[in-house]
């Protein structure tokens, strides 16, 4: 039996925070105490957890000491507040991208690199939603055949940007002249190949994050990863079209068998494939349309979908917590 721990959920009212509370309930994580934090706007409001109302505190007012904290704040706030919880002896699992590439901070997807948890020093980073989803499908193939090159095109939902972006999608859908405030272009009835600002090399922030985070999670620093990230008018669920090339020749039957047995993955076989609507609310990653590349024995194509709020954020964070409690 797992021991009960005290837990802080920081950013509890946001899309990821609320999903973390749901996942904590579903997975029956034993808690001796739960404290919830959000912005001053939410101070004094309550969220119901396991049938009981819990009052929301601000970071300035609340005590920072708990055994563990699940953080779901924007980067700037995470940079300011994660160290304060760590200094109070709390082990933090952080959803922001701020610490992910820092040396000594494990970036963990439990199905892929649980071993990295052995070396944490009070902070574990939860990966980018798309990188986490992709890694679950790629890791079993990488272990068997060693990836040498990835070319990814992503189709990322609006909930990936948080609550206010979902509200923007609703408003644009109801009124085609509503001026976008969150995104650089209207997202309703549209899509655009830009997630975050562009750097001097022409990559947007999300493309860079997915490349470097996949290299870190898969422990493949030399892996060539090329990404084009596209925002699409889907509420929940990120999809990817993946071209994966390996060092060795790869047989489709063997790849199918590996994915059939892969933890956290559902393989859709034959003509089946997953859609974001079909994956919403599911913790697993879905892979389908697995096929060989013509005239290239070393490469495969596949279609991968996952719920960005679950495996891309909340479920993965709670799985990390489960692993830490078990240790």
Ligand X SMILES: NC(=O)c1ccc[n+]([C@@H]2O[C@H](COP(=O)([O-])OP(=O)(O)OC[C@H]3O[C@@H](n4cnc5c(N)ncnc54)[C@H](OP(=O)(O)O)[C@@H]3O)[C@@H](O)[C@H]2O)c1
Binding region for ligand X (CB under 6 A): 11-17, 37-39, 41-42, 59, 72-74, 77, 95-96, 129, 159-160, 162-164, 308-309, 312-313
> What residue has token string 């090339």?
245
The owner of tokens 């082990």 is 91
Looking at beta carbons, which residue is closest to ligand X? 14
Q: Cβ of residue 110: shortest distance to ligand X, in angstroms?
A: 16
Cβ closest to ligand X, residue 250 vs residue 313: 313
Identify the active-site residue in 115, 119, 120, 129.
129
Decide if 119 is catalytic: no
Q: CB of 10: closest distance to ligand X in angstroms?
A: 7
Burial 237-268 (b: 16+ CB within 10 A, else e): bbbbbbbbbbeeebeeeebeebbeebebbbbb
Measured from the CB atom, the residue of 14 and 186 that comes closer to ligand X is 14
Q: From the CB of 132, what's the least distance to ligand X, in Å? A: 8
* Residues pairing with 33 in the sheet: 6
Residue with smaller CB distance to ligand X, 212 or 245? 212
Question: Using the 8-state DSSP alphabet, how is residue 6 labeled?
Answer: E
Please say which residue, 165 or 267, places its beta carbon nearer to ligand X: 165
Least distance in angstroms from the C-beta of 42 to ligand X = 3
Residue with the two structure tokens 């001053």: 40
User: Residue 279 catalytic?
Assistant: no
Catalytic residues: 129, 238
């Amino acid at each position: 039996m797992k021991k009960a721990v005290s837990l802080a959920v920081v950013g509890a009212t946001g899309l990821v925070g609320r999903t973390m509370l749901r996942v904590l309930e579903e997975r029956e994580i034993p808690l001796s105490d739960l404290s919830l934090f959000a912005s001053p706007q939410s101070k004094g409001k309550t969220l119901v957890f396991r049938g009981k109302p819990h009052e929301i505190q601000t970071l300035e007012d609340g005590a920072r000491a708990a055994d563990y904290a699940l953080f779901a704040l924007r980067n700037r706030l995470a940079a300011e507040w994660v160290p304060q919880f760590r200094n109070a002896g709390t082990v933090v699992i952080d959803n922001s991208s701020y610490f992910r590439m820092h040396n000594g901070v494990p970036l963990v997807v439990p199905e892929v690199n649980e071993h990295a948890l052995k070396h944490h020093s009070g902070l574990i980073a939860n990966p980018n939603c798309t990188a986490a989803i992709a890694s679950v499908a790629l890791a079993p193939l990488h272990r068997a055949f060693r990836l040498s090159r990835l070319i990814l095109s992503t189709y990322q939902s609006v909930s990936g940007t948080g609550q206010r972006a979902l509200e923007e999608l609703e408003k644009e859908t109801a009124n085609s002249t509503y001026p976008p405030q969150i995104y650089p272009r209207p997202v309703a009835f549209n899509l655009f190949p830009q997630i975050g600002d562009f750097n001097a090399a022409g990559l947007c922030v999300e493309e860079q994050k997915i490349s470097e985070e996949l290299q870190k999670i898969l422990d493949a620093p030399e892996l060539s990863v090329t990404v084009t990230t596209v925002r699409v008018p889907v509420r929940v669920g990120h999809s990817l079209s993946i071209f994966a090339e390996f060092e060795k020749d790869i047989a489709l039957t063997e790849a199918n068998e590996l994915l059939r047995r892969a933890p956290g993955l559902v393989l859709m076989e034959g003509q089946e494939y997953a859609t974001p609507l079909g994956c919403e609310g599911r913790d697993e990653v879905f892979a389908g349309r697995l096929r060989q590349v013509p005239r290239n024995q070393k490469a495969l194509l596949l279609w991968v979908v996952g719920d960005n709020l679950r495996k891309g954020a909340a479920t993965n964070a709670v799985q990390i917590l489960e692993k830490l409690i078990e240790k």
